[in-house]
Structure 1
Amino acid sequence: MPTLPFSESESHQHRLAAESFGSDAERYDRARPRYPDAMVEAIIAASPGPDLLDVGIGTGISARPFRAAGCTVLGVDVDPRMAAFARRHGLHAEVAAFEAWDPAGRTFDAVTAGQTWHWIDPVAGAAKAAEVLRPGGRLAVFWNVFRPSPEMAKAFSEVHNRVLPDSPRNPWAKPAVEEYSALFTKAADGIRQTTAFDDPQQWHFTWERPYLRDEWLDQLRTGGDAGQTPPTKLEELLAGIGAVIDAQGGTFTMRYTAVVVTAARTRTGPGPAN
């Protein structure tokens, strides 16, 4: 299920939801999708140097490929359990809400956020990014968007409607990119409002991953929607989804598009002078 537990306009106001993912950090790290190498390489190539701040570092899923590519990574996360997990795996992470985080004079070549910027106030977050970015530094916030085949989307949607007929949102009823599009617009608008960046762009990177039945159900348990579903209904929903995958031979391939909303800090905008 796409991790959009609240409407796009208000998600950053729900800090308790943002802090809920650390309740099972091991599962989160094991099950959540990664990001394509091409996306990581593009962000690095467009940044003036290797010093990177990862906002909402979580368990380090988005930070590790940047570190592996040669970046020096510092993470910030509102959830101390997530930050502790990241530290145990060799990453540097500090605990704070990004908008209130004290950079203590530190500056960076890139600020990234993987699957977390919708929990950040889009204007205050962009302003904080401008504050800590060096001139020409890059803000790059990104999300993985699910793109199941029409057949799988229809089958998943039917299960969701049967188990949760009164749910205000069926995540499979329409293409996920439509659900996420408001997030992309909101992120870009927040960047523009700071007047510290050039015009934001969207970059798209397609990739795919095969899933076994239990791998996919494990991943579904980590989503924001799962956290808002009564436990008995969640188990019924997962059983129905599992039956759909069983009918496909116990495995299927999920296609993704990693969408990056990105902009470079201009040399004339607010923020550090050097």
Structure 2
Amino acid sequence: MPTVPAGGPLPSPREPHEHRRTAESFGSDAERYDRARPAYPEDLARRIVAGSPGPDVLDVGCGTGIAARQFRAAGCAVLGVEPDGRMAEVARRLGTEVEVSTFEAWEPAGREFDAVVAAQSWHWVDPVAGAAGAARVLRPRGRFAAFWHVFGPPAQVAEATAAACRRAMPDAPFDFAAMARPSADPYRPLLDRTREGLHEIGGFGAPEEWNFAWQRSYTRDAWLDVLPTQGALTRLPADALAGVLHEVGTAIDAMGGHFTLRCTTVAISAVRTDGSVT
């Protein structure tokens, strides 16, 4: 999920793609990222595949290939584009073909695709350049889809995380208390900027928004495996990270050592038309 850097200026919610250090920090523990991050709803993958003219998928910011493996299991041929070589190495080892590049700089060399997807990554792409890049490689009636998880941990976990982050990062220009009072629609700025990017370059039909609700049980240890993969924590020194994990773990212990995470996966999707691209 898009999170705030451990140091440096507060990123605008409309321009997180400018904060490359955070965008490229997830590979610091790529194995953990692949192990701990949840996959995406199968209904989402099926909807994208069913709404695309063929099986060729380009996965933008594919990371370790979590979504790519789901599309491959659905019968697709997937090429990933990933700026972090460490993440790409894990994805390749697990069977996904990957080219190392930012999407803005990536050269398609005449290749075309039936779907361009971005799983938990489109916020790191310039919205206008990204939309133009997607339009350039999509076949007519090809589908673009960007999607994100919206985590909803119990209040006890959210409040402990907010308090621990405030102590670990007292100078970070971020309202960590917002973690304890999550917005009902935290991804609205990202959905809007994606929609605006598609509109600005043209060549797409009207975007649709989809929501998929799901839940998952986490033990203390399993959730503490997820936390270090989030952007606000990927650049914390080891001792500070250990302090955050201890505080959150203590809160989960007080709940009996486990909890249910409620999550919604939100998506925005549009179909490539035959119209010109500006």
Common fold, TM-score beyond 0.5?
Answer: yes
Determine the structure 1 residue equivalent to 2:7.
none
Q: Percent identity?
A: 52
Whole-angstrom distance in 1 between the partners of 2:276 and 2:111: 18
Task: Structure 2 unaligned segments of length 5 or more: list them.
Answer: 5-10
Cα 1:150–1:23 change in 2 (3 A) is closer
Question: 1:182 pairs with 189, 206, 209, which one?
Answer: 189
Question: 1:244 pairs with 241, 246, 251, which one?
Answer: 251
User: What is the root-mean-square deviation of aligned Cα atoms in Å?
Assistant: 1.9
Query: What is the CA distance between 1:149 and its match in structure 2?
Result: 3.2
Whole-angstrom distance in 2 between the partners of 1:262 and 1:177: 20
Whole-angstrom distance in 2 between the partners of 1:89 and 1:174: 37
Cα 1:33–1:266 change in 2 (3 A) is same
Determine the structure 2 residue equivalent to 1:196.
203
Question: 1:256 pairs with 250, 263, 269, which one?
Answer: 263
Query: What is the CA distance between 1:209 and its match in structure 2?
Result: 1.1
Determine the structure 2 residue equivalent to 1:30.
35
Per-residue CA deviation, residues 84-111 of structure 1 (Å, 9 max, x unaligned), is: 2111111111111111111111100000
Per-residue CA deviation, residues 115-139 of structure 1 (Å, 9 max, x unaligned), is: 1111100100010000000011110
Contact 1:146 1:176 in 2 (8 A): no
Determine the structure 2 residue equivalent to 1:20.
25
**TM-score (normalised: structure 1):** 0.92
Determine the structure 2 residue equivalent to 1:86.
91
2:210 partner letter: W
Q: How many residues align?
A: 270
Whole-angstrom distance in 1 between the partners of 2:20 and 2:156: 35
Contact 1:156 1:244 in 2 (8 A): no
1:144 partner letter: H
Matched, 1:4 2:3: yes
1:148 partner letter: P
Per-residue CA deviation, residues 130-171 of structure 1 (Å, 9 max, x unaligned), is: 000001111000001101234543444444455555542315
Question: 2:175 pairs with 165, 169, 182, which one?
Answer: 169
Bigger Cα displacement from structure 2, 24-33 vs 169-178: 169-178
